[in-house]
Amino acid sequence: MAEVENGDPRVTPPREIDVLWITAGLSCDGDSVAVTGATQPSIEDIVMGAIPGLPKVNLHNPVLAYATGGDFLRPFHQAARGELGRPYVLVVEGSLPNERLSGAGYWAALGTDQQTGEPITTCAWVDKLAPGALAVIAVGTCATYGGIPAMEGNPTGAMGLRDYLGHGWKTPAGLPIVNVPGCPVQPDNFTETLLYLLYQASGLAPMIPLDEAGRPTWLFGQTVHEGCDRGGYYEQGDFAAEHGSKKCLVKLGCWGPVVNCNVPKRGWMGGVGGCPNVGGICIGCTMPGFPDKFMPFMEEPPGAKMSTAAILMYGRMVRSLRNFTRDSLDREPAWRTRT
């Protein structure tokens, strides 16, 4: 491994890489829209070559594409036939339905098959495109783990990409599916992951570090609570009883202490917004158990009842001691006077 610490010198950097982005999973397209809001890096930073060391990137995403219809789908068809002539990263947005449940019809499709006149299912695209990809990224919680369309009682049999391809699935180069969850994805979390993979493909970075759920560790290694600026209120046993309060939200339904996500620390866009840090309970939208294991959302999480009771005695004491100290610190030393 030593020789790949700082990239792999054996890699011949590709001059051009295509990003084939399928939004036709069961999704709301919210991840594509979110990514238009990224600034660190922005989509134009990547496409226009503003980052040193990267190959030229040809982005094929339907929300931003110049081409439409068959013109748009041409590189997808070429890649499926192995005739694209350039390496590609496959991005899948949206969960994959179980087409065994759709009879002669379909739940999700992209484009029309010229031979049959029927839609080409999204699952068929994944079957054709995943095996030849340099890297496969699942963007957003639908594609990563199933998300909202995979909720209990859903008719489509929706699932995440790794549920569909298999949890041990890897690209021919040995790269597992890279999962960037979030509902939607935090914009910079995605572009930064893409950037990392482009560096890796260029031999400028070692293998992307992923946790067991396939998430980049530097983005998802901490909990919401660990990055939340309301954590101090929790420590002092000071909990919000109603929305609009500045205090810790766990008693109102916040799951932050047990959810892996960097949003309270990073903010939503340009450092602005977020979840519990700005008054929104964490509903666990980056987690494989989302949404079912977090519902009903507006109830205190069962585990929080015990942990908040435990912290309460300590917290109240600490708070009163701190208030005492603060009172003293709030006064200037006695000698600062004209008399």
Tell me if 55 contacts another protein by CB under 8 A: no
Residue from 53, 70, 85, 209 touching another protein (CB under 8 A): that is 70
Interaction between residue 51 and another protein (CB under 8 A): no
Interface pick for another protein out of 9, 52, 69, 333 (rule CB under 8 A) = 69
CB of 143 vs another protein, minimal distance in Å: 12
Choice between 80 and 135, CB closer to another protein? 80
Our finding on whether 115 is near another protein (CB under 8 A) is no
Contact between 65 and another protein per CB under 8 A? yes
Rounded to an integer, what distance in angstroms lies between the CA atom of residue 183 and that of residue 39?
18
Q: Is 58 one of the binding residues for another protein (CB under 8 A)?
A: no
What backbone torsions phi and psi does residue 178 show, to the nearest 5 degrees? -95, 120
| From 44, 163, 235, 300, residue interacting with another protein (rule: CB under 8 A) | 44
CB of 38 to another protein, least distance (A): 9
Nearer to another protein, 68 or 339 (CB): 68
Measured from the Cβ of residue 1, the count of other Cβ atoms closer than 10 Å reads 6
Residue 124 interacts with another protein (CB under 8 A)? no
| Maximum separation of any 2 CA atoms in the chain, in Å | 97
- β-partners of residue 17 are 57
Distance (Å, rounded) from C-alpha 33 to C-alpha 29?
6
> Counting contacts by CB under 8 A, is residue 45 touching another protein?
no
- Residues 151 to 210 in contact with another protein, rule: CB under 8 A: 151-156, 158, 183-184
Q: Residue 275: which H helix or E strand, with range?
A: none
Cα 95–chain centre separation: 14
* Residues in region 304-323 near another protein by CB under 8 A: none
Residue choice 36, 217, 320, 325 for contact with another protein (CB under 8 A): 36
Among 124, 222, 273, 318, binds another protein (CB under 8 A): 273
Instruction: Of 113, 111, 87, give the one whose Cα is nearest residue 23.
Output: 111
- C-alpha separations of 76 from 68, 88, 191, 305 in Å: 13, 10, 21, 51
Would you count residue 278 as binding another protein (CB under 8 A)? yes
Angstrom CA distances, 125 to 120, 213, 260, 320, stand at 7, 24, 31, 61
